[in-house]
Structure 1
């Protein structure tokens, strides 16, 4: 009897605890480059976004759907938040949790746009959203400097015969 009450008590406590979502790592541009420039044949779909960017938020479900559809293929989706690192716990993590985002998310901690944008994509103005599709081994590098339209990601990915 005592054990059953203990289990009920613990379950009651746990009911008030929100489910843990993935953790969002804070990275510098050098670490980001290591994540996306791996010498393998995996296709990396890297989206730069922010919680305050309406077009970014609108297109995020497409990246999640892509990740899900290609889960058994050599494709990785990486969502790179450009939110201020001070908002990680108050905005970014809750945003990821409430939208049930399963793709890997990192927060880029670089304050001066001019010092790192060219390292990521020289053709990029810094405007959001922006997406890169990369694979070193496949010699793929595609820049998308605007919001992606419904179905656009699949059309691009299908070119690479995963």
Structure 2
């Protein structure tokens, strides 16, 4: 039931984001050089690690309470492990970047690299990432060149994330 509700919310988000006037893909939103909007084809290469370095890719949104709760844990883990690379992929609306997303990141002291995925064909790209992914967020990929794991859940603490990485990498 919970998964279905999250998937329904996510599907509604994708539907709504496909309506109306669209911003150009693959360009930095005006007045924000740090948050770039991508479609899936352009973001897909970021989802893989080609080195021994551990890479964390986290799909999240401001409206997702478990996502917001875990962001500081992920960022703290990366700060304590400088050999780990982090990419946060926001699923919020591109038009919210200036008035909502940037202030949110500042307020929450999120300094990790954030990009935005704006691609209405979620049925296609969700399966390309992981056929077992329901589409619910938060969703985290942890990988290196030898291993790639998926977590369709939130991390409850820095220790929770650390334990997953230590036992798998």
Q: TM-score band, normalised by the shorter chain?
A: 0.7 to 0.9
Q: How far does residue 115 in structure 1 lie from its aligned partner after superposition? A: 2.1
- TM-score scaled to structure 1, two decimals? 0.77
Counterpart of 1:61 in structure 2 is 72
Q: Does 1:47 align with 2:58?
A: yes
Once residues 70 and 31 of structure 1 are traced to their aligned partners in structure 2, the CA distance between those partners, rounded to angstroms, is 28
- Find 2:161's aligned residue among 129, 150, 153: 153
Q: After TM superposition, list the pairs within 5 Å mapping 1:9-158 onto structure 2.
A: 23-71=34-82, 73=83, 75-136=84-145, 139-150=146-157, 151-158=159-166
Once residues 53 and 131 of structure 2 are traced to their aligned partners in structure 1, the CA distance between those partners, rounded to angstroms, is 22
Q: How far does residue 38 in structure 1 lie from its aligned partner after superposition? A: 3.8
Q: Give secondary structure in 1 for the equivalent of 2:63.
A: coil
| Residues 21 and 97, structure 1, Cα contact 8 Å, conserved in 2 | no
Q: Give secondary structure in 1 for the equivalent of 2:109.
A: coil
Q: How far does residue 82 in structure 1 lie from its aligned partner after superposition? A: 0.5
| Residues 60 and 88, structure 2, Cα contact 8 Å, conserved in 1 | yes
Displaced runs of 4 or more, over 3 A = none
Q: How far does residue 79 in structure 1 lie from its aligned partner after superposition? A: 0.8
- TM-score scaled to structure 2, two decimals? 0.75
Q: How far does residue 160 in structure 1 lie from its aligned partner after superposition? A: 5.5
Rg comparison, structure with higher value:
1
Once residues 155 and 54 of structure 1 are traced to their aligned partners in structure 2, the CA distance between those partners, rounded to angstroms, is 22
Unaligned runs of at least 5 residues, structure 1? 1-19
Unaligned runs of at least 5 residues, structure 2? 1-30
| Residues 59 and 137, structure 2, Cα contact 8 Å, conserved in 1 | yes
Once residues 133 and 111 of structure 1 are traced to their aligned partners in structure 2, the CA distance between those partners, rounded to angstroms, is 24
Higher strand share: 1
- Tell me how many residue pairs correspond in the alignment: 138
Once residues 119 and 90 of structure 1 are traced to their aligned partners in structure 2, the CA distance between those partners, rounded to angstroms, is 32
